[in-house]
Amino acid sequence: MQKQDLLGLRGMPRKQMEAILDRAVEMKQIVRSEHKRVSHLQGKSVVTLFYENSTRTRMSFELASKYMGAASANMSASASSVAKGETLIDTGATLDMMGVDIIIMRHPMSGAPHLLAKHVKASVVNAGDGMNEHPTQALLDMFTIREHFGAIDGLKIAIIGDALHSRVARSDAYGLMAMGAKLYFAGPSTLMPPEFGRLGVHTGNDIRAAVQGADVVMGLRIQRERQKAGLFPSVREYHHFFGIGMDTLALAKPGALVMHPGPVNRGVELSSYAADCEQSVIRDQVQNGVAVRMAILDMLANGGERA
Ligand code: CP
């Protein structure tokens, strides 16, 4: 198997993203089928190597591997020899020697999967690195939007919340801009990344202007684990000014999609009304996450063709 990595969407050609989304359409049929069993990854081995907590990303990669017949295993840093001081590169070499074909990695440090990819024979997939990127989340977000509207070109997408600390925000910005969306980020000025202006993304602190006429309204989690103190006065005040609720959604286009990468802090970035309303596709995002991750594993293992 020839080594290919998926480390981020920055600079990824639109055609390559579309190829993943197209493959995921086929994979979704498998996820929704009764037997959920194909042999696309027969003979391959996949390891999830997570140095941070996860529910959606880790479980969906593990299920994706199993549905496609791979030998799969999970390695959590706290229960491994990493806790005894083993370096990332030595851990990677150990997995290589065991014949692992694909390593799915989440790490609190930006760039950690890029470092690992330089030192291992296995393909590396970035499952979220610090404040940098979370490419597979952005691909499943794009899949969900494209599935609903048929195309992403020209859609107004409002993304509200802590973009500064969000790797999802960065990957969504690179991916959705490449796919032709009009992107509006809004949140407290202290949580808006200055570099987003250079991408042609609108940024500001007026949530109403961002959501006005939007086709999609996405909330971002407040990344408390990555924030310094004092970036906004209180969670209650944050929700008052930047929480997405019924009033905010009334400004969007009728039927606009409500999205969130999860985990949702109810009553903070989204009201329970917004999280559970008819327009909410938060649960669809989770199911699409399995299909998109199956597509990614299939393409890394088999490229354009299948063995
Ligand atoms: N969206 C996301 O990455 O969720 P998890 O942290 O549960 O994987």
- Local confidence band at 227 (pLDDT 50, 70, 90 cut-offs): low
pLDDT of residue 307: 44
Token pair 């390695």: residue: 75
Q: Give the ligand 1 atom nearest the CA of 60.
A: 8
Q: Give the ligand 1 atom nearest the CA of 52.
A: 6
Measuring from atom 4 of ligand 1, which residue has the nearest CA?
56
Q: Give the ligand 1 atom nearest the CA of 134.
A: 3
Q: Give the ligand 1 atom nearest the CA of 106.
A: 8
pLDDT of residue 82: 80
For residue 202, the cross-strand partners are: 184
pLDDT of residue 237: 86
Rounded distance, CA 19 to CA 10, Å? 16
Cα 290 to ligand 1 centroid, rounded to whole Å: 12
Cα 246 to ligand 1 centroid, rounded to whole Å: 25
Cα 135 to ligand 1 centroid, rounded to whole Å: 12
Cα 226 to ligand 1 centroid, rounded to whole Å: 15
Cα 286 to ligand 1 centroid, rounded to whole Å: 9
Q: Which two three-digit tokens encode residue 184? A: 């509006």
Q: Does the bond joining 135 to the residue before it have cis omega, within 30 degrees of 0?
A: no
Q: What is the pTM assigned to this prediction? A: 0.95
Sheet holding 257-259, edge to edge: 202-204, 182-186, 156-160, 216-219, 257-259
232-253 mean pLDDT:
91
pLDDT digit string (tens) for 269-304? 999 999 999 999 999 999 999 999 999 999 999 986
pLDDT digit string (tens) for 4-38? 999 999 999 999 999 999 999 999 999 999 999 99
pLDDT of residue 222: 85
The average confidence (pLDDT) of the chain is 94
